[in-house]
Structure 1
Amino acid sequence: MSATPDAQAAARTAQADGLPQTDTATGLSAAEARTRLTRFGPNAIAEQTVPVWRQLLAKFWAPVPWMLEAVIVLQILLGRGLEALVIAALLVFNAVVALVQEQRAKDALALLRRQLHVNARVLRDGQWQQVPAEQVVPGDVVHIRAGDIVPADLVLLDGAVSLDQAALTGESLPVDAGSGKPAYTGAIVRQGEASGTVSATGAHTYFGHTAELVRVSNAPSHMQRTIFAIVKRLVLFDVVLVALVIGFALWHHLPLLDTAVFALMLLVASVPVALPATYTLATAVSSQWLAHRGVLVTRLPAVEEAAAMDTLVSDKTGTLTQNSLRYAGAVALAPGADENAVLRAAALASDDATQDPLDLALLAPARERKLLDDAPMRTAFHPFDPATRRSEGVYTVDGQTWRAVKGAATVIGPLCHLDAAQQAALEAAEQQLASSGARVLAVAAGTDEALQLQGVVGLSDPPRQDAADLIAQIAQLGVRVCMATGDSEQTARAIGAQLGLGDRVCHIGAGKTLDPSQCDLYARVLPEDKHHIVAALQKAGHVTGMTGDGVNDAPALRQAELGIAVASATDVAKAAAGVVLTDPGLSGVLTVVRAGRQVHRRMLTYTLNKVLRTLEIVIFLTFGLMLTGHFVISPLLIVLMLFANDFATMSIATDRVRPAALPQRWQVRKLMGASMVLAGLSLLFAAGLYVWARAQGLGPAQLQTVVFLILVFGNQAGIYLLRSDGPLWQLAPSKWMAAASVGDLVVVCLLAGLGVLMAALPWFVVGTILFATVVFTLLLDVLVKRPLFRYFAIA
């Protein structure tokens, strides 16, 4: 921390210098906060954007544009200025379309990020309240605790916290901070809690920028890796065909420049030019749809990954239960103690400032019974820490230090040095309350030397009314739901029985081998245990989803294929997760699974059609050259065909599809196998149409137009053939897909019939090719597609 100024230096440069000192007992007034917000602006940093013209130029600097630019140069050298101009125009058009689609996706992400508010606890008008971090102003009194991201530069007033500032300073070890010490924007609170006054906000913070809280992962998803694996195979196959073309050209003394152009175009035909735009658009459209249904996507690949999830590990509190803890009674175990004595001790080990539901559930009944009216003076408070699994209030009673402690029975019991009879009584009392599904805490009180077990308290958190039904619906989609809870085995089994989860309870322990197939419920789970659970499931071959809400859940949320931050999650959990639920319960999980399978279906259509058309195009063009001795299509028409096909395939991202009934995984061999069968049949059909066209007495240039139409019409037909497992007429396409198809066909037919950019064809020939393609596609749908899909287990 040598590069970090001390609290005094920070105060000298703070934005809050010159402002009246804030009354730390009441905080700012609402009116004063509004005035300072107007004066200093929102607590946010304006994002730096890349100019649109630079984004557009970047579209021309990549392998596919390089190959097309080389074709343009070669066309100019061959004296074909018109062809070079048209290819250049198409290249620009494609770049503009890709830029527009990416901008739409970025706008969607920006909308989602605006909904992922980071909140701050501030003291205003004497009341603690939560406000969006953007509304924090200099002079505000802010309370931070474990799991928070520090919303602004603070000078701490009281308490103690352990801060992870690795993202800001590069230091890997947490930094301890207490009264008079600074806490900087973007630091993660790992342990403890404290209050402080805001010294700087927004661009005026010491580090000059707020850490980006929600990052979009650029790591490729399973779908992207699968498609790129397929493309590698296609490119290798094309390299072999290119070698054949070059050898044939040299043997027959064909023009070298023309051959070079043709070879380049074969390679271009294998590259999924529209993949990035189609994938980004498909996931962005689904993300926007999800946002309107209470699910915010923080990483686009998470949408598609949801399609493959087959196991979901869910938190209990707030996700499966109502998260409305209520005092359910107490069992006194100390001599002379009664229920009120146990409740009073538990309340003295609690604090309002933590806003912990456990603490609030105990404080409310204690105050109603006036048990805290004569509370002793508190000198310190240690909030609940997952590492120690207890909270503690320190008081002064008769001049001596007196402690009230509450926490897990396995933790409190050893602190009280129980004998065998006392331990048996504690276990019996715990089991008595836990058997009803209540969460049980042990309570102890006394001096440091004589801490005495007072009893146990039960806190009920009944299951959500919709939880059992949602679990059943998720199970119908082929996803097994397990529950992870810090509660005892009895509590976990009682809740699991009510929800229909099963009754096999597992414990996570050091050195224990975990067999996830034998676990329906995980009891006494520490937050750090969740990472172990996820890793064990993944090792067993499961694609895993994990719900979480705390800072210690972040590793598990990042490890899981689908990390899900629940509605009450901390900022750190939201940053680590792939999706964030804004509504309590599991309804959002059901929604995101269905949306993920819809995206998978759309991209499956894209992938199958891409492989099918690539094989058909490159084989047809290569063997067309070798059998006829001349190029069966011009480079200009190849480029025009590719862009016409990409324009149609990009509309797949908006298509109306039915989600699959079971989890979906990408299997390259099966996809390639099905595509090769369909490509073989399509080649025979294309060859037959070409032979028919030659018999009509058409010239070489017109035959090139025929090839162009065959390949464009075939691509359109392939999209509709492959978009569903059932008959292609059962499910209507989306309006955008229908419009793209109609527009594409109309333009292509007009170009061919009028002879624009290609040799004109008789309208009879254009109509015959279109009609024959429709009939052939229907035959494939009825006779081939469905048995083929069943054989290769497609979708």
Structure 2
Amino acid sequence: MEETNKDNLIKKPVDELEKELSTDYTKGLSEGEAQNRLRKYGPNEIEEKKENPLINLAKKFWNPSAWVLEAAAVLSLILGKYLDFYIIVALIIFNAILSFSEEQRANKALEMLKSRLQVQARVLRDENWKSIPSRLLVPGDIVRLRLGDFVPADVRLIEGQLEVDQSALTGESLTVAKGKGDVVYSGSIIKRGEATGVVILTGKNTYFGKTAQLVSIAKPRLRVQQVISRVVFWMMVIVIVILGISGAVILLRHENPLDFLPLALVLVIGAIPIALPAMFTISLALGSEELSKAGVLVTRLDSIEGASTMNTLASDKTGTLTVNKLSVHNVIPLEGDDKEVITYGALASREEDQDPIDLAFINKAKELGVELQSWKVVEFKPFDPSTRRTESLVEKDGSTFRVTKGAIDALGKLCGLKDIEKIYEKAQSEAKIGCRVLAVAKNDGEKWKLVGLVSLRDPPREDSAELVKELRDLGVKVIMLTGDAQPIAQEIAKEVGIGPNVVKVNEFKENPKIIDQIDGLAEVYPEDKYTVVKLLQQEGRVVGMTGDGVNDAPALRQADVGIAVSNATDVAKAAASVVLTSPGLRNIVDMVKIGRRIYERINIWILSRITRTFQNVVFIALALLLLNKFVISTFGMVLLLFMFDFVTLTMSTDNVPWSKRPASWNIFNLVKVSIILGIVMVVESFMILFLVNSLPTRPLQTSIFLYLLYSNIFNLLNIREKRNFWDSAPSKVMGLTMLADIIAAFALVTFGIPGLVAIPPTLALEILALSLTLNLIVNNFIKIGVEKILKVEW
């Protein structure tokens, strides 16, 4: 689109744009015309710049894990171990390609989720208002903008008044007033009012060149990187201690220090958790796919870890615990009859705004057979927090009058009522059962008269009580947050099974220590939620927070797990780390369970990795120091690492059970358990070593390679289950991969390859049987004993 045409669309009087854009302000575009324009102008989005895949692949050769292996290859070359050099280089390339392909798979999963988090726009097409993905907007579309919306394209206002936050575009923090004819730019946020406008520019043609895409999927920059660092720290502590002892012994023996280099090489390679970052990323990416099937869209991968550790859920009442569909519960006429009260309330509403209160009045009017089309709404004033009411100027048969609906005290003052307490008494019985009571008034030109009260009720969801109980059984305390008065809040909290102890939010803010005694907070304003989250976190809670509004955004960002509910505004979705696709708590229960299952997978991987490092490093070092021989070659050690890491990556699919309580990272406990099991496995490794040494042929290095690989595989099968290993089966993918690894290793050692001398099949079978017996029988009961007798948990 040429710049002159852009200027035309921005500067030309808005009444002339209808012809310029070939549209109709009252009917909108037809679907056919919209499709033609979509083909002409393209989607309303800016293509994301993506990094060259070849650059991503090159980065796999430039990171700490790759440096260690590259150093090993260089050291092998210096020492004249050319076969080791070639094989290690081949394995470096294989690892880079595998890591690259898995990362691409994870990114594709995230991009799939991203496509499901498109911003929605309210648009008029073929005379009907509908919600469509903003990427499908075209110039000439008529759109409706309301409080909390991100502006989906550059829009000229046809009618209405707005206050707009343009800080994301201009850096100016003050809101800007916009009225008829003004341009509201893509990427702005509506802070007040509502208006109808015509789309003039989309996609890359927008004035600021901004897309309306709100939710950007966070790439794997995870909080659990701290866990990786701590695991690497403990592994390196083990290696440094062993290297220090070994080096000292070699010097005391006056042996050639160069003999120490191959040992150092093997130990360093054995200690580096090459697959750990990939394991985290793949587990969380696959977890996000699993969650998406359960109706939970993850916008930041680290929120999955937050879901596993969450122990407190601050839940909104509306839409989460209740059905979020207001309906008229009772009508209390003060003048006229029920039908009159509902009619005036419906006339003070607007259907296209899809406001729940407005819809409740309109739907009730339709039930009563009121033909609202016989009135003409000349002017409509939407709900204003400062006046706490809506108002319409309506006309019928040549006469006009005003109608309004809103808070009882606001309309009481408007009508000049002196004894408002009597009105409150009429509403009291409705309020006690959790109803919201609104007043309706009429002004026929003289003064405002209160015509009646209408009680509205948003009933609890049928499954709320069951799901609240399920969350409690999972160790998650549910606290209800609502703006309702205390009596209403108590009634709902009791009905959904949370409990009756609901206090006013100010009482909690004054004394957060009462958190264990309360079930909910009443009279919560949106701006209070951020403070509530902060106070809960200061009390040591891992907090999940549900929200839907613009003012919920700071609380959603502050929470450990910010959860935007299904009907949330675009701003809330952008601030949250999780977006639900259906109402209620079911998605949250699924999120907790799946999050904990992912945590268990990673926890088991870490335990397996530390145990394996302890066994391999201590055994190899002690064998050298005590027997003065290398029990495994450098090539054998590298091959062992890659073959076993191939198995451990499938842990991301394992059927581990979720914990019945919130997860917590306890790396020190994992290290303690690993050392205990590692010591047992070192003793068992020496038993195998002495057995092999007693044989006439004694193919030592190949036999130890095979035993260590089988031992690592069966140890993983053992520790993946805290009870007896047979109490649960691994996933099909994991089981088949283990079997494939066992068969491949058997074939390698019996046929022999360069770097591994062939051994008799009978010996390979004996090693298989011994490693299976020691790790799945003996070590299974040792594992259970460690937890029961020493009270060490992981």
TM-score normalised by length of structure 2: 0.90
Which residue in the other structure is 1:440 paired with?
A: 437
- The CA deviation at 1:154 is 1.2
**Structure 1 contact 492–523 (Cα < 8 Å) conserved:** yes
The answer for the alignment partner of 1:733 in structure 2 is: 730
State the Cα distance separating 1:200 from its structure 2 match. 1.4
Contact 2:228–2:277 under 8 Å retained in 1: no
1:353 aligns with 2:352: yes
Q: SS of the residue aligned with 1:107?
A: helix
The letter for the 1-side match of 2:774 is F
Q: Which runs of structure 2 are paired with 1:287-686 in the superposition (5 Å)?
A: 287-331=288-332, 339=338, 342-344=341-343, 346-366=345-365, 368=368, 370=370, 378-379=378-379, 381-385=381-385, 388=386, 390-393=388-391, 395=393, 406-409=405-408, 421-422=419-420, 424-443=421-440, 456-509=453-506, 512-514=510-512, 515-686=514-685
CA deviation string 1:140-184 (max 9, x = no partner): 011111222221121222223333333333444433333222222
Query: Contact between 1:6 and 1:181, CA under 8 Å: does it hold in 2?
Result: no
1:764–1:183: structure 2 CA closer, same or farther, 3 Å change rule?
same
Partner SS state of residue 546, structure 2? strand
Counterpart contact for 2:656–2:721, Cα < 8 Å: yes
Residue by residue over 1:733-775, the C-alpha shift from the partner in whole angstroms, topping out at 9 and shown as x without a partner, is: 2121112111211222222223312233333332222211111
Q: Distance in 2 between matches of 1:129 and 1:400?
A: 33
Q: 1:124 to 1:230 in 2, by over 3 A?
A: same
Check the 8 A contact 1:656/1:733 in 2, yes or no. yes
Q: CA deviation at 1:10?
A: 4.3
Displacement, 1:415? 6.8
Query: CA–CA distance in 1 between the matches of 2:312 and 2:561?
Result: 10
Shift of 1:338: 6.0
Amino acid corresponding to residue 610 of structure 2 in structure 1 = V
Once the two structures are TM-superposed, the CA of residue 108 in structure 1 deviates from its matched residue by 1.3
Mapped contact 1:28–1:124 kept (Cα < 8 A): yes
Percentage of pairs with the same residue: 38
Residue 133 of structure 1 aligns with an amino acid whose one-letter code is: S
Which residue number in structure 2 is paired with residue 131 of structure 1? Answer: 132
Distance 1:410 1:272 in 2: 66
Once the 2 structures are TM-superposed, how far is the Cα of residue 316 of structure 1 from its aligned partner? 2.1
Deviation at 1:535, TM superposition (A): 2.3
CA distance in 1, matches of 2:24, 2:737: 63
Can you list the C-alpha shifts for 1:496-545, whole angstroms capped at 9, x where unaligned? 22222211112123963343222212222222222222222222222222
Contact 1:440/1:487, CA 8 A, preserved across alignment: no
Question: In structure 1, how many angstroms separate the alpha carbons of the residues matched to 2:262 and 2:783?
Answer: 36
* 1:475 counterpart letter in structure 2: R
Contact 1:558 1:577 in 2 (8 A): yes
2:756 matched to 1:758?
A: yes
CA contact (8 A) 2:375 2:394 kept: no
Matched with 1:142 is: 143
After superposition, give the CA deviation of every residue in 1:428-464 in whole Å (9 maximum; x if it has no partner).
2332212222222345666999777665421122222
3-state secondary structure, aligned to 1:729: helix
Paired with 2:220 and 2:401, the residues of 1 have a C-alpha distance of 53
From 765, 768, 778, the counterpart of 1:767: 765
Write the mapping of 1:141-290 to structure 2, written as runs, cut at 5 A: 141-210=142-211, 212-218=213-219, 223-252=224-253, 256=257, 259-290=260-291
Say if 1:493 and 1:505, in contact at 8 Å, map to a contact too.
yes
Distance, in Å, in 1 between the alignment partners of 2:202 and 2:615 is 60
Distance 2:207 2:265 in 1: 54
3-state SS, counterpart of residue 506 of structure 2 = coil
Offset of residue 33 of structure 1: 1.2
In structure 1, distance between residues paired with 2:411 and 2:662: 44
Structure-2 separation of matches of 1:301 and 1:217: 9
Provide the residue aligned with 2:111 in structure 1.
110
Q: Distance in 2 between matches of 1:596 and 1:715?
A: 26
Distance 1:168 1:793 in 2: 54
**In structure 1, C-alpha distance between the alignment counterparts of 2:504 and 2:643, rounded to whole Å:** 58
Q: 1:534 to 1:449 in 2, by over 3 A?
A: farther
**C-alpha distance after superposition, 1:698-755 (max 9, x if no partner):** 56xx323333223212210121111112221222221211121112112222222233
Could you say which residue in structure 2 is the equivalent of 1:708? 705
Instruction: Return 109-118 or 64-73, whichever deviates more.
Output: 109-118
| Pairing partner for 1:786 from 781, 784, 787 | 784
Query: Where does structure 2 lack aligned partners over 5 or more consecutive residues?
Result: none
User: C-alpha displacement at 1:366, in angstroms?
Assistant: 4.2
Give the counterpart letter for 1:383 in structure 2: F
Secondary structure at 1:509's aligned position in 2? helix
- In 1, the alpha carbon distance for the partners of 2:589 and 2:146 equals 32
SS at match of 2:138: coil
Which whole-Å CA distance do the structure 1 matches of 2:56 and 2:784 have between them?
Answer: 43
Q: Answer whether contact 2:265 2:634 (CA < 8 A) is retained.
A: no
Paired with 1:477 and 1:89, the residues of 2 have a C-alpha distance of 47
Amino acid at match of 1:735: K
CA distance in 1, matches of 2:595, 2:768: 34
Number of residue-to-residue matches in the alignment:
781
Structure 2 distance, partners of 1:296, 1:536, is 27
One-letter amino acid of the structure 2 residue matched with residue 767 of structure 1: L
Q: 1:178 to 1:626 in 2, by over 3 A?
A: farther
Q: Report the CA distance shift for 1:165/1:400 in structure 2 as closer, same or farther (over 3 A).
A: farther
Q: Spell out, residue by residue over 1:608-644, the C-alpha distance to the aligned partner (whole angstroms, 9 max, x if none).
A: 1111111222222233332233443322222111111
Going from structure 1 to structure 2, the CA distance change for 1:612 and 1:401 (only over 3 Å counts) comes to farther
For 1:449 and 1:231, how far apart are their aligned partners in 2? 80
In the alignment, residue 323 of structure 1 is paired with which amino acid?
Answer: N
Deviating more after overlay: 607-616 vs 302-311: 302-311
Classify the secondary structure of the residue corresponding to 1:440.
Answer: strand
* Distance in 2 between residues matched to 1:446 and 1:7, nearest whole Å: 45
The question of 1:722 aligning with 2:731 is answered no
**C-alpha distance 462-22 of structure 1, shift in aligned 2 (>3 A):** same
Task: Give 1:673 deviation, angstroms.
Answer: 1.7
Q: Distance in 2 between matches of 1:474 and 1:31?
A: 48
Deviates more, 1:518-527 or 1:733-742: 518-527
- Mapped partners of 1:349, 1:7: distance in 2: 39
- State the shift of 1:379 in Å: 4.2
SS at 1:306's partner residue? helix
How far apart, CA to CA, are the structure 1 residues paired with 2:280 and 2:39? Answer: 41
| CA distance 1:748–1:347, change in 2 (3 Å) | same
Partners of 1:349 and 1:391 within 8 A in 2: no
Inter-partner Cα distance in structure 1 for 2:235 and 2:489: 52
Give the C-alpha shift of residue 349 in structure 1: 4.0
Letter of the aligned partner of 1:182 in structure 2?
A: V
- The gaps in structure 1 that reach 5 residues or longer are none
Alpha-carbon shift at residue 193 of structure 1 (Å): 1.7
Matched to 2:179, the amino acid is: G
* SS of residue paired to 1:131: strand
Structure 2 distance, partners of 1:595, 1:704, is: 42
The alpha carbon displacement at 1:649 in A equals 0.7
RMSD: 3.2
